[in-house]
Amino acid sequence: MSELTLSPELLQISAEVQDALKNKKPVVALESTIISHGMPFPQNAQTAIEVEETIRKQGAVPATIAIIGGVMKVGLSKEEIELLGREGHNVTKVSRRDLPFVVAAGKNGATTVASTMIIAALAGIKVFATGGIGGVHRGAEHTFDISADLQELANTNVTVVCAGAKSILDLGLTTEYLETFGVPLIGYQTKALPAFFCRTSPFDVSIRLDSAREIARAMAVKWQTGLNGGLVVANPIPEQFAMPEETINAAIDQAVAEAEEQGVIGKEST
């Protein structure tokens, strides 16, 4: 997706982010579903603000993305972050399919990986950090339940830095899907695919790169040669915060069984 000139009625970029883009400073896009749907208030808003401050301390500019009153916003104010946190699940969870309707209706929307990538690309932002991408759900060979995140990665020129795919997903089928659509799955200083809460999984990444410079060079070559689509940079959770695979897998098996009993499917399962 190339940059487009959109009216302020559709897309607004904060002054901080505009200045960073104009002066070629590093900008990191952030999603907003984690704020509205990931944690209770006020921890959700506090965490989002802390993440932004961490990025600033590392010399980059954060660009939290959401839809506020029908406007795609790139770079939120503290008040807008708190609004999303306070409203919680009353805020619409927006992926590619939902985006035009939430904007057209003038509603508030929290962006998933897919819609954050779309809006980041419209703003000219090339790097997006998140906890974990969506992927192929367990049992997808019967349900065809596959996250729109994967198709966005196949088409949109944004690099997504994450701790792997969400643990509840079928990681093996997710890696196969990414391979089929030519999406590089880069392990940052690791050959094993991290699994969100865990530093490793039974699956490998497609290539290991050990520095940001190597990754940036790969991004540039990919897009300069017309190979459209994103890249996934899988950066394992720090060791002191990681959990044993057997503990997580037992909890996931129980959660999946309960979800099936309660008829929880699709985007509600993640």
- Give the type of residue at 104: A
Question: Which residue out of 22, 31, 245, 246 is catalytically annotated?
Answer: 31
Distances (CA, A) of 174 to 33, 34, 41: 21, 21, 32
Distance CA 47, CA 223 (A): 33
Bridge partners (DSSP) of residue 50 are: none
Which of 16, 166, 239, 260 is the catalytic position? 166
Residue 80 known to be catalytic: no
Provide the 3-class DSSP secondary structure of residue 234.
Answer: strand
HSE toward the beta carbon, residue 105, CA cutoff 13 A: 10
Catalytic status, residue 260: no
Beta strands at 27-30 and 127-129: parallel, antiparallel or unpaired: parallel
Strand partners, 237: none
From the list 214, 178, 149, 161, the residue with the least C-alpha distance to 29 is 161
Catalytic (active-site) positions: 31, 166
